[in-house]
Structure 1
């Protein structure tokens, strides 16, 4: 039955939607490890700053600049590869790379060494999402795709939540004995051990991804003439984006500005530590619980809500709901750091994580719905590029800059975070909303050609 058949395997055999959901689950696990390896750094600000003698801005470069810039730059050529070569092998290789580089972070002794290791993590993680977006769009039709994207991207908050809880527990358990002697490796600090423990299990996930069946790429009638275009070409990407300038601004720049507020969470654990004197275990539990509860709920709500709207004929559902989320997150983002106690701050983390989960589900789905066949992974990589350059990099760095150069007080972090959100939120909403009409026009062109 048509309802039971999803994509097609490279062997020509049909793949059921059940297998599509299995693939989605494996990719979600990979995304979980991606964010676990990425976010574990954020819980260890104090020990790393003390041991390496670095400033807030230098730490922000570790979590934003060093990681984010290479994560985004490498996404473009990897996106081209994912449009032409087996995506499961690209993902599997990337997982192995970022897992090894996370473990190697535990062997570093200087700031440049740790920065190089974080660059390696960024390069490895750049392989995942462009390839996964492309695979999922070949496994599901447009009404199921938002749901599949929501399940895949749940890995963001599961990984971030586990990073906070596991990392907080480990750091809290050994913070009284920060020097640990490990066989063969000698004396190590507690944060070194955390990197090694978190990084190595990812190698098993890399092997699991390698067992997946590679789906055949879907080619829509609207894209048939373009499907065989070869070679990575920035002019071809630019030509498409320039044909729909307002839509492109919304999908790429608007979502990137929204993501700035999400990536300021690099400072949330340290916010509780500096403002209320909480320990790593307590702050890890509160931040981790918020990620594990509200983040997945937001993602699943975004996927199911947008799927229902699309079924009812509202084709712009993904972009529209993202704009609404940008409006919804504004007040909690501004108020959360200013709350009079840590527990109220913890409560306001819930709407932040809930609305923050909309963008990574809805915008990649919207891009796959309107992208030419030969540019699907590459446009997914452009999304990762803009989110990385603007969000992953600016999210941690903007509050640090305000803290170091405006307030000039390490304990003013709460005001830096509040001001940063107050500036970014209205800009994100405006940028997301202006491209709605052109998005509907492009979607009509794709669906019209397919119907014809």
Structure 2
């Protein structure tokens, strides 16, 4: 693969049409949708998978968080370096194909280690997407349009998660009626295995679609492109703006923990109110499909509007407001005594949760040097992966299994986890606001 070093400020060129940039954002959104569909489908199959593989809550959380999250984050930095140097569309194409094959492989596993290995493959494949996509979009849009483009791309999170919940709920109800199915060549398999045969292979078509995208011009000059991957180079940038770095990378990851705790929300309604899998899947899925995208698009529109009016710190400022709102709603929601009230609270949680995947990546792209955009996006993926993707599902399970020692107290473990991480995230984000403004003033739009 030949190194790509392109010059020119295409995104800022006078009179430039952004039509192809919006098309690129839409295609990447479809890829992100499949990413989260593949990632989230396990959340409504807790019962069948635990029963067939004899798993504890913590083991299941490792499938949705640990096994996926660790490799998703570890691979992010080297993939980020590749994306800063080589064609990003090719990297994404390979990644989409890999996670689609790994998802399909879940249909053939019969043991916990084998399922974990397949989920690791999904994590490695998905690690290629966001660092490369953020870099592509930052080269396709100017600063005032970038948050809106990020919101279009990031909508895939909630579309994929929502579809997984709605489709998964129906499938799991079918599993209860027909625990196994007969398929040509494969013979008899569990019905939950068949789910992966449905959602995995179509991703290969998405990979082919991504391969048709053309690369936008990079804004880095030839001499600025890193010749080799360097942790020291990344560290020097982070250390030069310590408070801002803590806010963008640690504060946002702490806040994202609450978003990833929603892996347990479908099960929360089952254990608390004895809902069927179909009922909880449809309600949680509808909230994801409506409130999540609305939150992302609102975050993109509000921040772009504020930036155009001179409020350059809009991305981080809005993230702080989202952190305050999430701290309250995610703590209160699991404790509500009525099912309808708990279900209603899903909407503000999903709405505010949609702010972070738009605002923080946009803020990072605004302050990142041209030759480090994908790598700093990968650092964001690293911190979010270690803290949010991994701890989001695992932290409530650990509290339930080892502190409360009661799987029936899921509502308490979710509330306790949110009450701990929410205020910490708010403080960390707020502490970086002044340095974020200072960094933006020293790094005019290029």
Q: 1:247 aligns with which of 230, 244, 264?
A: 244
Question: 5+ unaligned residues in a row in structure 1: which ranges?
Answer: 1-5
Is contact 2:244-2:431 (8 Å) kept?
yes
Is contact 2:273-2:339 (8 Å) kept?
yes
Residue matched to 2:56: 55
Q: 2:404 aligns with which of 407, 413, 418?
A: 407
How far residue 226 of structure 1 moved from its aligned partner, in angstroms, is 6.2
**Using the alignment, how far apart are the partners of 2:374 and 2:157 within structure 1?**
19
How far residue 276 of structure 1 moved from its aligned partner, in angstroms, is 1.3
Residue matched to 1:91: 92
Is contact 1:179-1:187 (8 Å) kept?
yes
Residue matched to 1:118: 119
Residue matched to 2:296: 299
- Structure 2 matches for 1:276-287, cutoff 5 A? 276-287=273-284
**Using the alignment, how far apart are the partners of 1:263 and 1:247 within structure 2?**
23
**Using the alignment, how far apart are the partners of 2:318 and 2:136 within structure 1?**
24
Change (3 A) 1:226 1:370: farther
How far residue 15 of structure 1 moved from its aligned partner, in angstroms, is 7.2
Q: Deviations over 1:204-248 (max 9, x none)?
A: 0000000011111023xxxx5862331110000000000000000
- Structure 2 matches for 1:179-194, cutoff 5 A? 179-194=180-195
**Using the alignment, how far apart are the partners of 1:37 and 1:90 within structure 2?**
19
| Aligned length, in residue pairs | 436
Is contact 2:175-2:192 (8 Å) kept?
no
**Using the alignment, how far apart are the partners of 2:225 and 2:333 within structure 1?**
50
How far residue 195 of structure 1 moved from its aligned partner, in angstroms, is 1.3
- Structure 2 matches for 1:337-416, cutoff 5 A? 337-416=334-413
The alignment yields a C-alpha RMSD, in angstroms, of 1.5
Q: TM-score, normalised by structure 2?
A: 0.96
**Using the alignment, how far apart are the partners of 2:393 and 2:183 within structure 1?**
32
**Using the alignment, how far apart are the partners of 1:113 and 1:15 within structure 2?**
50
Is contact 2:10-2:216 (8 Å) kept?
yes
- Structure 2 matches for 1:222-301, cutoff 5 A? 224=221, 227-301=224-298
Residue matched to 1:3: none
Q: SS at the partner of 1:374?
A: coil
Q: SS at the partner of 2:139?
A: helix
Residue matched to 1:27: 28
Is contact 2:253-2:387 (8 Å) kept?
yes
How far residue 185 of structure 1 moved from its aligned partner, in angstroms, is 1.1
Is contact 1:7-1:16 (8 Å) kept?
no
Q: Deviations over 1:17-65 (max 9, x none)?
A: 1111011000000000000000001110111111100101101110100
**Structure 1 residue runs of 4+, over 6 Å off?**
none
**Using the alignment, how far apart are the partners of 1:60 and 1:311 within structure 2?**
42
**Using the alignment, how far apart are the partners of 1:385 and 1:49 within structure 2?**
28
**Using the alignment, how far apart are the partners of 1:355 and 1:64 within structure 2?**
21
